[in-house]
Amino acid sequence: MSILVDGNTRVLVHGITGKAATFHVRHCREYGTKVVAGLRPGKGGQQFDGVIPIYDTAREAVAEQGANASLIFVPAMGAADAIMEAIDAEIPLIVCITEGIPSNDMLRVRERLLGSHSTLLGPNSPGVISPGKTKLGIMPSHIHQPGSVGVVSRSGTLTFETVWQLTRRGIGQSSCVGIGGDGVHGLTLLEVVRRFNDDPGTDGIIMVGEIGGEEEEAAAEYVHRSVKKPVAAFIAGITAPPGRRMGHAGAIISGKKSGAAYKIAALEKAGIAVAKNPASIAETYGERAGLFAK
C-alpha cells in the first residue's frame, strides 16, 4: 500500500509545456505515471509529446480525462492561481513543485482550501512517489525501491539522500513525500505522518525536518500519543546561523524554538530515534525498527 498516490492516480500537469515540466513529465511517464492531461491556457486542443491532450482550463481536463491529481509547474507569480484553479475543479490532490511563490499568495490559497475537496502538497515540494506504482514530482526514479517505510521530509534533496540510503541497504519505501520548504504550505509533517500511521502498507516512518517553524514538534507530539510503528528522524541545520534564511523560505531560526537543538530534544522526548549525522539516517531507522538484529 501507499499514501496519497498509487496506480489509480490520473494526473493533470499545469504548465506542461515549460522546459522543466517537459523534462520531468517525461520521466514520470517512463516510471509509469498516468499523465492524462496537460494544462496551458491558450494551447487547448494541442498535444504534449503527440499523445497527451492539452486543455485551456482545469475543469475541461477533469470532465474529459477524469484527472484526480494536479501536478503544478507554473512559474511562481502565477502558481497560486493554478492551485486555486485546481481547487475550483475539485481535484482531490494538488502537488505544487513551484518554488518562490509569495507567502501572501499562499495565505489566500490556504483560505480557499478550507472546506474544499482538495488536499495540497507543497509548494516548493519535490513531489510524492509510491515506488513501483507512480510518481508525481522531480525525484530521480532509480533511487527508490518498493517496500514499507514511509518517508516524509521538508527538503527535496535530503529526501533523495534518505531514500538512497534506505535503498542501498535493501530497505524499500511505501511512499516518499516532500511537503516543501516554504513557511506557508499545504500538508504538514503531522498530517503526512498520520496518513502513514493509518496506512496498513507502511511499517515504519522516517521524518526529515529542518530549522524553522514548529511542525516537527507537533508531529512528535502526535507520534508520542498515537504511533506504535517505529519512527526515526533527522533535523537539518544544527550548525545554521540564527536569523539567516537557509535556502528554503521556511528554514530560518527566529527564536529558540525554531532551532535544531530544541526540535531534536522534542523528538527524542517523544521516543523518536534521531540520527546524529545525516549519513546515518537509514542506519538509525534500521536499528530502531530492529531490521539489523535478524
Partner 1 sequence: MKIHEYQAKELLASFSVPVERGVVVRSAEEIGGAMGKLGERARYAVKAQIHSGGRGKGHFSGGLEGGGVQLVSSEKKAVDLARRMLGNRLVTAQNGPDGSLVTAVYIAEVLEPQRQFYLSILIDRAAQRPVVLASRDGGVEIEALAEEHPEKILREHIHPLFGPEAFQARRIAFWLGLKDDVLWEDFQRTLAGIYRIFWEKNASLVEINPLIVTEEGRLCALDAKINFEDNGLPRHEDIRALRDSAQEDEKEVRASEFGLSYIALDGTVGCLTNGAGLAMATMDMLHSYGIRPANFLDLGDNSGVDAIAEAVRILLSDKNARCLLVNIFGGAMRGDLVADGILKALDGKGLSLPLVVRIEGANAELGRKTIAAALPGTVFADDLAAIGYAIKNAYERT
Q: Which residues bind partner 1 (CB under 8 A)?
A: 20, 24, 76-77, 99-104, 107-108, 110-111, 126, 137-140, 143, 153-161, 164-165, 168, 181, 183-184, 208, 210-214, 218, 234, 236-241, 244-251, 254-256, 276-280
Nearer to partner 1, 204 or 213 (CB): 213
Q: What is the per-residue DSSP string for 229-273?
A: S-EEEEEE-TTPPTT-B-SSTT-B--SGGGSHHHHHHHHHHTT-E
State the minimum distance, in angstroms, from the CB of residue 294 to partner 1.
23
- Is 248 a known active-site residue? yes
Q: Which of 14, 144, 185, 248 is catalytic?
A: 248
Quote the crossing angle between the two packed helices 76-88 and 58-65, to the nearest 10°.
50
State the minimum distance, in angstroms, from the CB of residue 70 to partner 1.
18
d(CA 99, CA 82): 13
Rg of the Cα trace of the chain?
19
Q: Which grid coordinates belong to 145?
A: 525501491
AA identity, residue 3:
I
State the minimum distance, in angstroms, from the CB of residue 35 to partner 1.
17
State the minimum distance, in angstroms, from the CB of residue 140 to partner 1.
4
Nearer to partner 1, 39 or 139 (CB): 139
Nearer to partner 1, 158 or 267 (CB): 158
Q: What is the DSSP letter of 292?
A: T
Nearer to partner 1, 199 or 215 (CB): 215
DSSP H or E stretch at residue 193: helix 189-198
Q: Which of 227, 223, 204, 220 is nearest to 281 (CA)?
A: 204
Q: Which residues are catalytic?
A: 248
